[in-house]
């Protein structure tokens, strides 16, 4: 809640005010004898109102609470002002609640913070008043504190401050909080056969980011742009009547970075991950409950979707306890998710991963289902350089890069295989030497296999083993472009 108060400006107007008050008193004495009392009062208040000196300052009172609900502007100001604490401040308040991890630092009552917004000077002060709740018979500790900020500035900027500065502070505090947010990984609780299957969470400590991912740089750029577009399109989704969600299908051989990409996306957006292991779910009611308990601004992940839906105990066998239920199919699951998501929840991302796109249910591949199909391919020379920077801190070039890049270009090797070699020693020369041996051995094995195939009359050498990289397969099922 914001309230306005006019405040007399101290020095310049004070003397004028004093002499004016004296004249008013003289005038009052003179008319005291002539004019009846009620009329006197009226005239006096009329004169005081019109001759009172006007202040150029306006103060906004920003109270912590508005009735029983909290005041968003107050909370935002607390977060924002923390970033404005500088060396001029001499007195700060620090607090820490028992369950909090870090110390909260706030400005204290004796301090003021001066801020500049588009050339306008504003001054912030913090105030608090103790007040007893209810009757005077209450115990001493039943005292509440009324806390508020006073934001003062020249009143000619009232509109600018209300229309631009206050929204700016709210947005800024949201950005600061988003930056500080710790991303969580939610997994199904270990008592998987209990009827009360639920999510449990830990901090996602996966360090993967888009910088550390060994991926084609155009593909990386495409993914980042797609995510950015998605999060800023709230109004657009509403306008076209689509649920604000986005689906990605990541497919590619094991060790090409599908899980690492999911972690990078979560770290980039600061979205929590819900890792839904379908094998742990026995009842549709559990699935529905779990999905309903996922939060907004989150990523729902179903890994190895081609395997998950073919579990024997999901097919209605007695052991699965679903013998009378209709078969649990992928399309059923997708419809279920679609239905729930269309009716509740905002800013949701769903990601399916698969090692084999050919095995996938057509329901998943049909147009409009997954918005973006991302093929995670084998390592390229460009990707190798990213891994060398990550693991060995080599930023420019190394003597062994030439032969390594040549080998990588002629065979399918996963980033995971190369990463494992690069971790074997802190010494770059030793690690890269080990990698060259590993790649040469792999090359030799591929050649031997090719020879065997040729001898047994198989002309057509499998493209994968021959060394061709799968092409990037970005199947964007884009929404119409927004204005």
Ligand X SMILES: Nc1ncnc2c1ncn2[C@@H]1O[C@H](COP(=O)(O)OP(=O)(O)OP(=O)(O)O)[C@@H](O)[C@H]1O
Residues at the site binding ligand X, with contacts judged by CB under 6 A = 213-215, 254-260, 355, 376, 415-416, 419
Q: Which does 301 bind (CB under 5 to 8 A by kind): Mg ion, ligand X, none?
A: none
Tell me the backbone φ, ψ of residue 432, rounded to 5 degrees: -70, -35
Nearer to ligand X, 71 or 377 (CB): 377
Nearer to ligand X, 256 or 308 (CB): 256
Whole-angstrom Cα distance, residue 363 to residue 335? 10
CB of 353 to Mg ion, least distance (A): 6
* Residue closest to ligand X (Cβ): 257
Q: Which does 214 bind (CB under 5 to 8 A by kind): ligand X, Mg ion, none?
A: ligand X
CB of 454 to Mg ion, least distance (A): 35
Q: Which does 374 bind (CB under 5 to 8 A by kind): Mg ion, ligand X, none?
A: none
How many CB atoms neighbour CB 456 within 10 A? Answer: 7
Q: Which does 254 bind (CB under 5 to 8 A by kind): Mg ion, ligand X, none?
A: ligand X
CB of 470 to ligand X, least distance (A): 13
Give the one residue of 208, 259, 294, 377 binding Mg ion; rule: CB under 5 A: 259
CB of 342 to ligand X, least distance (A): 29
Nearer to ligand X, 237 or 438 (CB): 438
Question: Among residues 93, 113, 111, which one has the least CA distance to residue 103?
Answer: 93
| Window of 148-156, 250-258, 263-271, 366-374 that interacts with Mg ion by CB under 5 A | 250-258
Written as six digits, the tokens of 66 are: 């508005």
Q: Which does 394 bind (CB under 5 to 8 A by kind): ligand X, Mg ion, none?
A: none
Length of the chain equals: 483
CB-based contacts of 284-291 (< 8 A; 24+ apart in sequence):
284/325, 284/328, 284/336, 286/195, 286/197, 287/333, 287/336, 288/336, 288/340, 290/188, 290/197, 290/198, 290/199, 291/336, 291/337, 291/340
CB of 250 to ligand X, least distance (A): 8
CB of 159 to Mg ion, least distance (A): 54
Q: Which does 345 bind (CB under 5 to 8 A by kind): Mg ion, ligand X, none?
A: none
Q: Which does 256 bind (CB under 5 to 8 A by kind): Mg ion, ligand X, none?
A: ligand X
* Residue 173 interacting with Mg ion (CB under 5 A): no
* Residue 260 interacting with Mg ion (CB under 5 A): no
Q: Which does 173 bind (CB under 5 to 8 A by kind): Mg ion, ligand X, none?
A: none
Binding mask 57-86 for Mg ion (x = CB under 5 A): ------------------------------
Nearer to ligand X, 76 or 265 (CB): 265
Nearer to Mg ion, 233 or 258 (CB): 258
Whole-angstrom Cα distance, residue 477 to residue 75? 40
How many CB atoms neighbour CB 247 within 10 A? Answer: 22
CB of 328 to ligand X, least distance (A): 23
Nearer to Mg ion, 245 or 258 (CB): 258
CB of 273 to ligand X, least distance (A): 13
CB of 359 to ligand X, least distance (A): 13
Written as six digits, the tokens of 402 are: 């030439």
Nearer to ligand X, 71 or 259 (CB): 259
Do residues 113 and 145 lie in contact, with contact meaning Cβ atoms separated by under 8 Å?
no
Q: Which does 321 bind (CB under 5 to 8 A by kind): Mg ion, ligand X, none?
A: none
Residues of this chain that bind Mg ion (CB under 5 A):
258-259
């Amino acid at each position: 809640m914001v309230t306005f108060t006019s405040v007399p400006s101290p020095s310049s107007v004070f003397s004028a005010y004093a002499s004016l008050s004296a004249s008013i008193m003289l005038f009052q004495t003179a008319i005291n004898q002539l004019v009846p009392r009620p009329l006197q009062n009226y005239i006096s208040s009329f004169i005081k109102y019109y001759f009172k000196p006007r202040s150029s300052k306006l103060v906004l009172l920003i109270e912590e609470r508005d009735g029983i609900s909290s005041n968003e502007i107050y909370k935002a100001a607390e977060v924002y002002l923390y970033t404005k604490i500088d060396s001029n401040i001499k007195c700060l308040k620090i607090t820490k609640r028992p369950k909090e991890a870090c110390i909260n630092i706030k400005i204290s009552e004796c301090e003021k913070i001066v801020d500049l917004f588009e050339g306008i000077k504003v001054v912030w002060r913090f105030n608090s008043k103790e007040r007893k709740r209810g009757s005077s018979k209450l115990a001493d500790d039943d005292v509440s504190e009324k806390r508020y900020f006073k934001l003062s500035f020249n009143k000619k900027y009232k509109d600018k401050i209300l229309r631009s500065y206050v929204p700016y502070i709210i947005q800024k505090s949201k950005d600061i909080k988003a930056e500080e947010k710790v991303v969580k990984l939610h997994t199904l609780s270990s008592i998987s056969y209990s009827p009360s299957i639920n999510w449990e969470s830990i901090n996602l400590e996966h360090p993967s980011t888009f910088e550390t991912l060994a991926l084609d740089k155009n593909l990386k750029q495409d993914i980042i742009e797609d995510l950015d577009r998605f999060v800023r399109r709230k109004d657009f989704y509403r306008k076209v009547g689509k649920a604000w969600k986005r689906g990605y299908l990541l497919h590619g051989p094991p060790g090409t970075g599908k899980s690492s990409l999911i972690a990078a996306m979560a770290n980039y957006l600061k979205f929590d991950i819900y890792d839904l292991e379908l094998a742990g779910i026995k009842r549709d009611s559990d699935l529905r409950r779990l999905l309903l308990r996922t939060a907004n601004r989150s990523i729902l992940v179903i890994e190895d979707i081609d395997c998950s839906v073919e579990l024997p105990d999901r097919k209605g066998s007695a052991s699965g306890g679903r013998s009378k239920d209709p078969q649990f199919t992928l399309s059923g699951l997708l419809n279920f998710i679609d239905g729930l998501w269309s009716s509740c929840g905002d800013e949701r991302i769903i990601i399916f991963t698969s090692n084999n796109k050919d095995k996938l249910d057509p329901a998943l591949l049909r147009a409009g289902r997954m918005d973006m199909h991302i093929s995670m391919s084998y390592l390229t020379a460009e990707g190798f350089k990213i891994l060398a920077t990550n693991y060995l801190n080599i930023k420019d070039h190394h003597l062994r890069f030439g032969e390594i890049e040549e080998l990588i270009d002629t065979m399918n090797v996963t980033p995971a295989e190369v990463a494992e070699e690069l971790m074997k020693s802190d010494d770059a020369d030793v690690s890269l030497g080990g990698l060259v041996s590993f790649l040469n051995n792999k090359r030799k094995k591929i050649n031997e296999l090719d020879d065997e195939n040729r001898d047994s009359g198989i002309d057509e050498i499998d493209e994968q083993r021959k060394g061709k990289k799968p092409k990037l397969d970005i199947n964007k099922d884009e929404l119409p472009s927004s204005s």
